[in-house]
Amino acid sequence: MVCTPGGGARLLEETREAVTGRAALLVIGALVLQLAFVISYVGAFHSPKPKDIAFGVVAPPRLGEQLTRDLAALPGTPLDPRTVRDRTQAVREIRERDLDAALVVDPRGSTDTLLVAGGSGASLAQAAEAVVTRVERAQQRTVEVTDVAPAAVGDARGLSSFYLVVGWCVGGYLCAAILAVSAGARPANPHRAVIRLGAIAVYAIVAGLLGAVITGPLLGALPGSVLGLWGLGALVVFAVGALTLALQGLAGVVGIGLAIALVVVLGNPSAGGAYPYPLLPPFWRAIGPALPPGAGTWSARSIAYFGGNALTCPLLVLSGWAAAGTAVTMAGAVRRARRDAAE
């Protein structure tokens, strides 16, 4: 190999032209996002342990109080037990999503009944069963499991709700990203911002309907109201799309990466999909309900398996993200329009 004078300088110059400073910063940002993805998903899923599963105890008063104290004192506090009047109330509270599981004690025999809800996720039901089975075995008793809100036959391990919401979230930020790539990350004026938000709203309505039809009537993966899932899907897609538009307005193209960090890196592992909240580490359990994937997954399961119960808080979360994204997008467009007019 022959080195020519000035060859090193030319190579350096070509490198600078091929990989600009902006591109290098974006590549570094991509690396950070990748590492954050690994940390978040592995951190959330590598060692699931039950913690404070909302648990009901149905038993005669004295026995129930003693058993509740014993269950609350288990190492690691896997259960958060409280006494429940009778089996009917226990079933009702599980279906209203106030309880995750309940133990109905038979004082006249040696076999008790564990009530679970497979629609909340198979891993949560299995975790409750594992804890109770150990306790019952230590007392030389056995337990039978009854699923009072089972997942549909086509919904393996109760994950279809989660994957449906993930798909809706992907559609939301991809739609906003495409608008940014095709016409600039920051809307130049309020009129263009309204048009972009309107385009995302139309996309959200179509995406919500198609997602509900595919997972419901077409694949038989989710029961429940198609109209309910359609409305939820439209809200999830629009909330994520508006959030992405807002972040793009604040940070330009980098805003797309910020949206992915918030929705995918933090939101998906904390959504309660593969492992519901009582099985997640504290950080992910705390942030999950406040992010679109978590609020959407909880809502989809409520619509599919729990008669639409316990929807108020997650729908308020999704509406809050939609409203905040819309407000920030419009405010940014107004500010840029005034700045351009002043120049």
pLDDT, tens digit (0-9, with 9 covering 90-100), for 51-82: 999 999 999 999 999 999 999 999 999 999 99
Condensed to tens digits (0 to 9), the pLDDT of residues 87-130 reads 999 999 999 999 999 999 999 999 999 999 999 999 999 999 99
The residue type of 19 is V
Average confidence (pLDDT) over 173-194: 80
Q: In whole angstroms, what separates CA 270 from the centre of its chain? A: 6
Q: How many CB atoms lie within 10 A of CB 21?
A: 8
> Nearest 5°: CA angle at 170, between 169 and 175?
100
Specify the pLDDT at position 1.
46
The residue type of 176 is A
Closest CA to 226 of 234, 297, 315, 310: 234
| 43 has pLDDT over 80 | yes
Question: Which tokens hold the place of 75?
Answer: 């190492």
**Distance between CA atoms of residues 57 and 250, nearest Å:** 51
> Nearest 5°: CA angle at 113, between 107 and 117?
150
Give 3-state DSSP helix, strand, coil % of the chain, rounded to 5: 65, 10, 25
Domain locations along the chain: 53-147, 156-342
Average confidence (pLDDT) over 322-333: 94
Closest CA to 244 of 297, 199, 294: 199
Q: How many CB atoms lie within 10 A of CB 249?
A: 24
Place of tokens 């959030």: 243
Average confidence (pLDDT) over 126-155: 95
| 167 has pLDDT over 90 | yes
Which residues partner with 104 through β-bridges?
Answer: 58, 113
pTM for the model stands at 0.90
Closest CA to 303 of 128, 155, 124: 155
**Distance between CA atoms of residues 250 and 180, nearest Å:** 12
**Distance between CA atoms of residues 234 and 240, nearest Å:** 10
- Greater confidence (128 vs 17) lies with 128
**Distance between CA atoms of residues 273 and 6, nearest Å:** 58
